[in-house]
Chains A and B, each alone.
Chain A
Amino acid sequence: MIAEFGLAALWLAAALSALQLLAGVLALMRPEQAAVTAGRRGHAPSVADPPETGPGPLVRPAAVLQAALCATAFAALLVLFARTDLSVSLVADNSHVAKPMLYKLTGTWGNHEGSMLLWVTVMALAGGLIAAVERRLPERTMLATLAAQAFVALGFYAFLLFSSNPFTRLSPAPPQGMGLNPLLQDVGLALHPPTLYAGYVGLSVAFSFAVGALVTRQVTPEFAKVMRPWVLGAWVFLTLGITAGSYWAYYELGWGGWWFWDPVENASLMPWLAATALLHSASVLAARDALRAWTIMLGVLAFSMSMLGTFLVRSGILTSVHAFAVDPQRGTFILALLLIYIGGALVLFALRAGTVSEGERFAPLSREGALVVNNVALSAILGIVLLGTLYPLLTEAFGVRVSVGPPYFNPVGAIFFLPMLVVLAVGPLLRWRGDSFKRVSRPVIMVAAVGLGVLLLVWLLTGIALLPLLGMALAAMVGVGSFLPLRGRSLLRLPLPVWGMVIAHFGVAVALFGMAADSAFQTERLVASRVGETIRVGPFAVELAAVSPTAGANWTAITADLQVRYDGGAPRSMAPQSRSFWAPQQEVSEVALLTRWNGQLYAVIGGEAPSEAAGETMGQSGTSRWQLRLWWKPFVTFIWYGGLLIALGGTLSLVGRVSEDLRRRTRRGLIAGRRAEALA
């Protein structure tokens, strides 16, 4: 029953999105009277608009109801997974009766259909939210925005219902279920995909706003102010999702790395790059009414990258172009959606961009100029990542198998990333519109001196490779530079968004320092060790105290007991495991981490090493040796602290913007009230 209920809710939600689209389009085709009069009246016309008749008023309730129905469908799937209802094909394929409850629930989105349902649910919730609360834009722009949101959602509802139905029944029901990939049986799965999707799909709002503004030709600073908090919110989630995903891959895969330039990772990085550029250009549009067309373009681009990422991850094309050709239905479906939405938006942009009149001018040396550098650099990095991700797919279609990895991404990306950081360190000091070298020369010289000093010091003391060395120097420059906008200002009266900027920029410095330190100073030991032996790695002495068998709910394992001393201090325990799951059958290593303020010790146990050839181990035969892999990773944790700081900065900025807007709205309400009284 619950499955049918969920499916019905999903169909209804799809129907409502069709209604929302239709009503929105019909309302937009009516004569533009309201908008014209509103335009003459200037800003904030929606407050005083006369109540509209016709299909227009249907749009907002449809969006809200659609969100509620879609959330209901998702809740139904959660219930099915919680009960392990094996008569539902998706549950039978991806769950198991003997799985812990948490992983039963998170298993809901640990598969293709469930994850697409989560995708659509986030999209519907985002649309419902703007329909419910956003009242600052001209009503026609809102109608166009919500119609665009419904148009995109409709395609993905169709995808879900026709080619990825999560509620399909299975008859007869199997007794147990296939189980969930053990790598996914982790708390990381509970947090990472929902956060990532909230950001990824939350960007659909920016896309719809951009389309709405293009349709009604209303690209104004007010528009940027309205769009900015929504982009900020999505961007904060995306930042958290990427940070959590990176940490999850780091401790779950057992390879000691935190970023692999894997296409799936790139799929989440590309929307983040576009959204970061969008945030910065939107602030130029909001503050100075410049970069109008460019901001709209980025709004389209950010969500286009999300959809492209969905295509890459969900079509099976990454496994192999051939696998894609064998079962092309899903992939072709998403590809068609991509072409319609991205192509349609770009055509609309090409038609309308010329009519978006030019914004205010600015001198090259100005806040705007610095932000343009930021935007161009971010776009260039986006292009480099995009080409590197798609290139193997292209060549494979022509029969040549190529892998593109860090040797491409790191140096080529750095060519644009490092100069961007230099501008980041000093850009926030510049004034809007135009500035002079003389006015900013002191802080610029100071930042440059810090950078050069760190560069020379680190180079002379350690002689590390070029990229980490530059990373260290730039981290120092950005770290110092990020706090300079606070100079001479009252810290208590500083607006929250400025604090947000300072903290997010400082987060970039912290993360960069972590990356540089980890790649330059990590030490690794790989040994086959007997119980009782001590291994030295970096400043640690690690004793293999015991190895014992362990068992869990759906796995058995060997667990090593490591006694670890840092610099001869008190011993601490670590217990890396090598687990054998039996549903499905797979071996997974559980990493043990020891976190200190200045880094992490990372320990993996492999298995029993084959016994040595006779004669080589005189007197010691009979004791088995265990494969151990240990890394000392100085300051690696700073990478994720930095990510969290960036997200915190975004959150502060968001809180500041929203509360400022609420205050303005109450004030405006008061004035309107007084005016009404006076008239009466």
Chain B
Amino acid sequence: MNSPRSRPALKPKHQRLVLVVLAVLALFGAGLLAAWGLRSQANYFYVPADMVADPPAPGQAVRLGGMVETGSIATLPDGITIRFVVGDGQERVPVTFAGIAPALFVEGSGVVAEGALLANGTFAATNLLAKHDENYMPRELEGMSTAQARTTVAETLE
């Protein structure tokens, strides 16, 4: 039933070796691809100070995290677009968001906005992540260094 239709076969040892080498190569390739993919994601998360100092390319998908400044939320006439300012105690970035904001998105609390920076310096958010928990207490970000602000935002969100 199994006529020898395969070509003059490799020695057993060799076939095993070839298989292992191919598998390792493929997995190594996957690792390299992953590393390359992750490297280009490394600047995915920004706080306002970073975003002003070293802005991402316009249109690149990034996240912006910080505090929603008190008194900054305003709704545009279309009834669904909101405009607010995210700050970290050093810099401020204006943000627009069209959509249904999460219930815990309020002034003076932390937010992570997903979206892209526009050429005019406004951050256009496509999604807002606010902490989904009523036990959340916003922390003061005033006067913190970028690294501290980053840690605090990271801790208080998600």
Interface residues of A (CB under 8 A from B): 183, 254-255, 319-320, 322-323, 358, 361-363, 366, 372, 375-377, 379-381, 383-384, 387-388, 391, 395-396, 399-405, 407-408, 411-412, 415-416, 432-436, 526-528, 584-587, 589, 604, 606-607, 609-610, 612-613, 616, 625, 627, 629
Contact = CB atoms under 8 A, between A and B. Distances in A.
B63 A403 contact: yes
A627 B99 CA distance: 8
Contacts of A391: 38
A412 B40 CA distance: 12
Nearest to A608: B79
B120 to A, nearest CB: 22
Given A404-B38, A434-B5, A528 B16 contact: no
A151 to B, nearest CB: 29
Given A388-B38, A609-B80, A435 B151 contact: no
Given A396-B154, A403-B45, A528-B80, A408 B38 contact: yes
B77 A363 contact: no
14 contacts: A254-B100, A358-B16, A366-B6, A376-B23, A377-B26, A383-B34, A399-B147, A402-B42, A403-B41, A405-B44, A405-B61, A407-B61, A408-B40, A586-B103
Nearest to A372: B19
Contacts of B16: 358
Contact of B9 (A361, A435, A436, A609): A361
A262 to B, nearest CB: 10
A582 to B, nearest CB: 11
Nearest to B15: A361
Given A255-B127, A391-B38, A616-B77, A363 B6 contact: yes
B27 A376 contact: yes
A379 B61 CA distance: 28
Contacts of B27: 376, 379-380, 383
A610 B79 contact: yes
Nearest to A255: B127
Given A320-B154, A610-B79, A412 B33 contact: yes
B31 interface: yes
Interface string B32-61: 011101101110110000000000000001
Contacts, number: 139
Contacts of A405: 41, 44, 61, 114
Could you say which interface size class chain B belongs to?
35 or more
Given A361-B12, A383-B34, A408-B38, A402 B6 contact: no
A526 B96 CA distance: 14
A363 B18 CA distance: 12
Nearest to B63: A403
Contacts of B29: 380
A621 to B, nearest CB: 13
Contact of A609 (B37, B38, B63, B75): B75
A436 B79 contact: no
A561 to B, nearest CB: 18
A612 B153 CA distance: 33
Contact of A363 (B7, B78, B99): B7
Contacts of A604: 100
Interface string B65-90: 10000000001011110000000000
B100 A606 contact: yes
Contacts of A384: 30, 33-34, 37
A380 B30 contact: yes
B127 to A, nearest CB: 7
Given A384-B33, A403-B63, 18 more contacts: A183-B132, A319-B158, A320-B154, A361-B10, A361-B15, A363-B6, A372-B23, A376-B23, A384-B30, A399-B147, A433-B6, A526-B80, A528-B78, A606-B100, A607-B100, A609-B75, A610-B75, A629-B100
B158 to A, nearest CB: 7
Most buried by B among A183, A526, A625: A526
Given A388-B38, A401-B154, A629-B100, A585 B134 contact: yes
Instruction: Give 8 closest A-B pairs by Cβ, nearest first.
Output: A528-B79, A606-B100, A434-B6, A609-B79, A380-B30, A587-B103, A363-B6, A412-B37
A587 B15 CA distance: 61
B15 A416 contact: no
Contact of A387 (B34, B150, B154): B34
Given A434-B5, A586-B103, A609-B79, A323 B155 contact: yes
Nearest to B2: A433
A533 B45 CA distance: 40
A498 B27 CA distance: 30
Contacts of B151: 322, 399, 401
Nearest to A380: B30
Contacts of B35: 387
B5 A376 contact: no
Contact of A362 (B6, B23, B158): B6
B30 A416 contact: yes
B98 interface: yes
Contacts of B75: 609-610
B118 interface: no
A396 to B, nearest CB: 7
A607 B100 CA distance: 8
A492 B26 CA distance: 40
A605 to B, nearest CB: 8
